Amino acid sequence: MEERGNPVYRVSEFAEKAGVTVRTLHHYDRLGLLKPSGRTEGGYRLYGEGDFARLQQIVTLKFIGLPLRQIKDLLDRGDLDLAATLRLQRRLLLEKRLQVEAAIQAIEEAERSLKSSRKPDLAALKKIIEVMERQNAMEWTKKYYSEEAQTRIAERARAWTPELQARVEQDWKTLIGEVEAAIAGKIDPASAQARALAQRWSELVRGFTGGDAGIQQGLNKLYADQGNWPSSFTKPFSDEAWQYIKQAMAAHKISCA
Protein backbone atom coordinates (compact mmCIF):
# COMPACT_ATOMS: atom_id res chain seq x y z
CA MET A 1 0.00 0.00 0.00
CA GLU A 2 2.48 2.61 1.12
CA GLU A 3 6.11 2.77 2.10
CA ARG A 4 8.16 4.00 4.99
CA GLY A 5 5.27 4.58 7.40
CA ASN A 6 3.73 7.23 5.24
CA PRO A 7 0.10 6.20 5.16
CA VAL A 8 -2.16 7.09 2.28
CA TYR A 9 -5.81 7.82 2.79
CA ARG A 10 -8.81 7.93 0.57
CA VAL A 11 -11.19 10.86 0.86
CA SER A 12 -13.63 9.53 3.40
CA GLU A 13 -10.89 8.22 5.67
CA PHE A 14 -9.00 11.43 5.38
CA ALA A 15 -12.10 13.49 5.97
CA GLU A 16 -12.93 11.63 9.14
CA LYS A 17 -9.38 11.80 10.41
CA ALA A 18 -9.38 15.55 9.89
CA GLY A 19 -12.90 16.21 11.07
CA VAL A 20 -14.22 17.70 7.84
CA THR A 21 -16.63 16.42 5.23
CA VAL A 22 -15.80 14.79 1.94
CA ARG A 23 -17.55 17.61 0.16
CA THR A 24 -15.25 20.07 1.86
CA LEU A 25 -12.24 18.22 0.50
CA HIS A 26 -13.74 18.27 -2.98
CA HIS A 27 -14.30 21.96 -2.57
CA TYR A 28 -10.79 22.69 -1.44
CA ASP A 29 -9.48 20.61 -4.28
CA ARG A 30 -11.37 22.59 -6.85
CA LEU A 31 -10.27 25.86 -5.28
CA GLY A 32 -6.69 24.65 -5.44
CA LEU A 33 -6.51 25.12 -1.70
CA LEU A 34 -5.68 21.52 -0.96
CA LYS A 35 -4.91 19.20 -3.85
CA PRO A 36 -4.53 15.55 -2.89
CA SER A 37 -0.90 14.54 -3.26
CA GLY A 38 -1.91 11.61 -5.44
CA ARG A 39 -4.60 9.87 -7.42
CA THR A 40 -5.25 6.25 -8.26
CA GLU A 41 -5.32 5.43 -11.95
CA GLY A 42 -9.06 5.31 -11.62
CA GLY A 43 -9.08 8.89 -10.42
CA TYR A 44 -9.55 8.38 -6.68
CA ARG A 45 -8.03 11.08 -4.52
CA LEU A 46 -5.16 9.98 -2.27
CA TYR A 47 -4.06 12.06 0.70
CA GLY A 48 -0.87 11.76 2.71
CA GLU A 49 0.57 13.18 5.90
CA GLY A 50 1.69 16.35 4.20
CA ASP A 51 -1.84 16.98 3.08
CA PHE A 52 -2.96 16.50 6.64
CA ALA A 53 -0.59 19.14 7.91
CA ARG A 54 -1.78 21.57 5.31
CA LEU A 55 -5.40 20.84 6.08
CA GLN A 56 -4.68 21.49 9.74
CA GLN A 57 -3.40 24.92 8.86
CA ILE A 58 -6.38 25.61 6.66
CA VAL A 59 -8.83 24.63 9.37
CA THR A 60 -6.89 26.71 11.84
CA LEU A 61 -7.00 29.83 9.74
CA LYS A 62 -10.63 29.23 8.96
CA PHE A 63 -11.30 29.02 12.66
CA ILE A 64 -10.17 32.58 13.16
CA GLY A 65 -12.49 33.67 10.39
CA LEU A 66 -10.25 34.09 7.37
CA PRO A 67 -11.91 33.55 3.98
CA LEU A 68 -10.59 30.65 1.94
CA ARG A 69 -9.09 32.94 -0.67
CA GLN A 70 -6.94 34.63 1.87
CA ILE A 71 -5.93 31.32 3.40
CA LYS A 72 -4.80 30.17 -0.01
CA ASP A 73 -2.76 33.32 -0.49
CA LEU A 74 -1.18 32.97 2.93
CA LEU A 75 -0.26 29.33 2.46
CA ASP A 76 0.82 29.52 -1.16
CA ARG A 77 2.78 32.74 -1.20
CA GLY A 78 4.02 32.73 2.37
CA ASP A 79 5.16 36.29 1.95
CA LEU A 80 1.90 37.99 2.90
CA ASP A 81 2.60 38.88 6.48
CA LEU A 82 0.84 36.58 8.90
CA ALA A 83 1.28 39.04 11.74
CA ALA A 84 -0.49 41.79 9.86
CA THR A 85 -3.27 39.42 8.91
CA LEU A 86 -3.72 38.43 12.52
CA ARG A 87 -3.88 42.03 13.65
CA LEU A 88 -6.50 42.88 11.09
CA GLN A 89 -8.52 39.80 11.82
CA ARG A 90 -8.43 40.54 15.52
CA ARG A 91 -9.89 43.96 14.87
CA LEU A 92 -12.65 42.50 12.76
CA LEU A 93 -13.47 39.95 15.41
CA LEU A 94 -13.56 42.57 18.15
CA GLU A 95 -16.03 44.45 15.97
CA LYS A 96 -18.15 41.41 15.48
CA ARG A 97 -18.11 40.68 19.16
CA LEU A 98 -19.45 44.14 19.88
CA GLN A 99 -22.22 43.60 17.37
CA VAL A 100 -23.16 40.27 18.85
CA GLU A 101 -23.11 41.70 22.33
CA ALA A 102 -25.30 44.58 21.29
CA ALA A 103 -27.78 42.15 19.78
CA ILE A 104 -27.75 40.06 22.95
CA GLN A 105 -28.36 43.11 25.06
CA ALA A 106 -31.17 44.18 22.80
CA ILE A 107 -32.84 40.80 23.10
CA GLU A 108 -32.45 40.70 26.85
CA GLU A 109 -33.94 44.13 27.22
CA ALA A 110 -36.80 43.18 24.94
CA GLU A 111 -37.40 40.04 27.00
CA ARG A 112 -37.52 42.04 30.20
CA SER A 113 -39.98 44.35 28.54
CA LEU A 114 -42.07 41.41 27.40
CA LYS A 115 -42.12 39.96 30.88
CA SER A 116 -43.11 43.10 32.71
CA SER A 117 -45.46 44.93 30.41
CA ARG A 118 -47.88 42.45 28.97
CA LYS A 119 -48.61 44.35 25.78
CA PRO A 120 -46.82 41.94 23.55
CA ASP A 121 -44.50 42.48 20.63
CA LEU A 122 -44.87 46.16 19.99
CA ALA A 123 -43.18 47.32 23.16
CA ALA A 124 -40.52 44.64 22.93
CA LEU A 125 -39.56 45.63 19.43
CA LYS A 126 -39.36 49.22 20.52
CA LYS A 127 -36.90 48.21 23.21
CA ILE A 128 -34.77 46.57 20.61
CA ILE A 129 -34.91 49.68 18.51
CA GLU A 130 -33.74 51.73 21.46
CA VAL A 131 -30.74 49.50 21.98
CA MET A 132 -30.04 49.65 18.26
CA GLU A 133 -30.08 53.38 18.31
CA ARG A 134 -27.76 53.47 21.25
CA GLN A 135 -25.53 51.20 19.25
CA ASN A 136 -25.75 53.41 16.20
CA ALA A 137 -24.94 56.40 18.33
CA MET A 138 -21.93 54.60 19.72
CA GLU A 139 -20.88 53.73 16.23
CA TRP A 140 -21.23 57.33 15.26
CA THR A 141 -19.22 58.67 18.17
CA LYS A 142 -16.35 56.40 17.25
CA LYS A 143 -15.00 58.84 14.72
CA TYR A 144 -14.09 61.23 17.52
CA TYR A 145 -11.83 58.73 19.21
CA SER A 146 -8.38 57.64 18.21
CA GLU A 147 -7.79 54.00 17.33
CA GLU A 148 -6.26 53.14 20.68
CA ALA A 149 -8.92 55.06 22.53
CA GLN A 150 -11.54 52.97 20.74
CA THR A 151 -9.74 49.83 21.73
CA ARG A 152 -9.57 50.89 25.36
CA ILE A 153 -13.23 51.85 25.36
CA ALA A 154 -14.09 48.41 24.05
CA GLU A 155 -11.96 46.87 26.79
CA ARG A 156 -13.69 48.88 29.46
CA ALA A 157 -17.08 48.06 27.97
CA ARG A 158 -16.33 44.38 28.52
CA ALA A 159 -16.36 44.93 32.26
CA TRP A 160 -19.74 46.62 32.20
CA THR A 161 -22.73 45.05 33.83
CA PRO A 162 -26.36 46.05 33.43
CA GLU A 163 -26.50 46.85 37.15
CA LEU A 164 -23.53 49.16 36.91
CA GLN A 165 -25.16 50.79 33.91
CA ALA A 166 -28.37 51.29 35.87
CA ARG A 167 -26.54 52.78 38.83
CA VAL A 168 -24.53 55.16 36.68
CA GLU A 169 -27.66 56.25 34.88
CA GLN A 170 -29.35 56.89 38.19
CA ASP A 171 -26.36 58.83 39.45
CA TRP A 172 -26.43 61.03 36.39
CA LYS A 173 -30.12 61.65 36.70
CA THR A 174 -29.78 62.61 40.33
CA LEU A 175 -26.84 64.89 39.70
CA ILE A 176 -28.45 66.59 36.74
CA GLY A 177 -31.56 67.18 38.80
CA GLU A 178 -29.48 68.87 41.47
CA VAL A 179 -27.66 70.96 38.92
CA GLU A 180 -30.95 72.16 37.44
CA ALA A 181 -32.09 72.99 40.94
CA ALA A 182 -28.92 74.97 41.56
CA ILE A 183 -29.47 76.90 38.37
CA ALA A 184 -33.08 77.57 39.29
CA GLY A 185 -31.95 78.66 42.75
CA LYS A 186 -29.34 80.96 41.22
CA ILE A 187 -26.51 79.34 43.13
CA ASP A 188 -23.23 80.96 42.18
CA PRO A 189 -21.12 78.60 40.03
CA ALA A 190 -18.20 79.79 42.10
CA SER A 191 -19.81 78.71 45.33
CA ALA A 192 -18.76 75.71 47.37
CA GLN A 193 -22.06 74.02 46.60
CA ALA A 194 -21.43 74.29 42.88
CA ARG A 195 -17.93 73.06 43.46
CA ALA A 196 -19.33 69.88 44.98
CA LEU A 197 -21.61 69.40 42.01
CA ALA A 198 -18.78 69.90 39.55
CA GLN A 199 -16.67 67.45 41.42
CA ARG A 200 -19.33 64.78 41.34
CA TRP A 201 -19.76 65.50 37.63
CA SER A 202 -16.10 65.04 37.09
CA GLU A 203 -16.23 61.77 38.99
CA LEU A 204 -18.99 60.40 36.81
CA VAL A 205 -17.11 61.37 33.68
CA ARG A 206 -14.06 59.61 35.06
CA GLY A 207 -16.28 56.60 35.52
CA PHE A 208 -16.59 56.54 31.75
CA THR A 209 -13.09 57.52 30.75
CA GLY A 210 -11.49 55.42 33.44
CA GLY A 211 -8.95 58.21 33.71
CA ASP A 212 -7.68 57.43 30.24
CA ALA A 213 -6.32 60.57 28.60
CA GLY A 214 -7.06 59.32 25.08
CA ILE A 215 -10.69 58.60 25.86
CA GLN A 216 -10.92 61.96 27.59
CA GLN A 217 -9.63 63.70 24.51
CA GLY A 218 -12.12 61.96 22.25
CA LEU A 219 -14.92 62.86 24.61
CA ASN A 220 -13.86 66.50 24.53
CA LYS A 221 -13.83 66.50 20.75
CA LEU A 222 -17.23 64.86 20.73
CA TYR A 223 -18.77 67.52 22.95
CA ALA A 224 -17.04 70.35 21.18
CA ASP A 225 -18.84 69.31 18.01
CA GLN A 226 -22.40 69.24 19.29
CA GLY A 227 -23.55 71.20 16.26
CA ASN A 228 -22.97 68.22 14.04
CA TRP A 229 -24.63 65.63 16.21
CA PRO A 230 -27.34 63.60 14.53
CA SER A 231 -30.80 64.28 15.85
CA SER A 232 -31.11 60.81 17.35
CA PHE A 233 -28.18 61.50 19.63
CA THR A 234 -28.79 63.87 22.53
CA LYS A 235 -26.92 64.43 25.71
CA PRO A 236 -28.89 63.69 28.86
CA PHE A 237 -28.54 67.23 30.25
CA SER A 238 -29.53 70.66 29.08
CA ASP A 239 -27.23 73.22 27.57
CA GLU A 240 -27.76 75.36 30.64
CA ALA A 241 -26.60 72.61 32.93
CA TRP A 242 -23.60 72.12 30.70
CA GLN A 243 -22.72 75.81 30.79
CA TYR A 244 -23.20 75.94 34.53
CA ILE A 245 -20.93 73.01 35.15
CA LYS A 246 -18.30 74.41 32.84
CA GLN A 247 -18.35 77.66 34.75
CA ALA A 248 -18.15 75.87 38.06
CA MET A 249 -15.25 73.78 36.85
CA ALA A 250 -13.44 76.84 35.59
CA ALA A 251 -14.08 78.72 38.82
CA HIS A 252 -12.72 75.90 40.92
CA LYS A 253 -10.08 74.69 38.51
CA ILE A 254 -11.56 71.22 38.20
CA SER A 255 -10.24 69.52 35.10
CA CYS A 256 -11.92 67.55 32.36
CA ALA A 257 -15.19 67.33 30.47
**Site of interaction with a second copy (CB under 8 A):** 56-57, 59-61, 63-65, 78, 82-83, 86-87, 89-90, 93-94, 96-97, 100-104, 106-108, 110-111, 114, 120-121, 124-125, 128-129, 132, 135
- SS3 of 23-87: the string is HHHHHHHHHCCCCCCEECCCCCEEECHHHHHHHHHHHHHHHCCCCHHHHHHHHHCCCCCHHHHHH
Q: How far apart are CA 181 and CA 66, in angstroms?
A: 56
By rule CB under 7 A, what string of x and - marks binding of each residue 199-228 to DNA?
------------------------------
Within a 10 A sphere around the Cβ of 206, how many other Cβ atoms? 16
By rule CB under 7 A, what string of x and - marks binding of each residue 3-32 to DNA?
-------xxxx-------xxxx-xx-x---
Q: Minimum distance between the CB of residue 94 and a second copy, rounded to whole angstroms?
A: 7
Q: Is 68 in the site for DNA (CB under 7 A)?
A: yes
Q: How far apart are CA 10 and CA 29, in angstroms?
A: 14
Binding site partner of 164, from DNA, a second copy, none, Cβ cut-off 5-8 A by kind:
none
Q: Which of residues 149-168 bind DNA (CB under 7 A)?
A: none
Q: How far apart are CA 249 and CA 190, in angstroms?
A: 9
Task: Give Rg (Cα) of the chain.
Answer: 28
> In the complex, which residues of this chain contact DNA (CB under 7 A)?
10-13, 21-24, 26-27, 29, 40-45, 62, 67-69
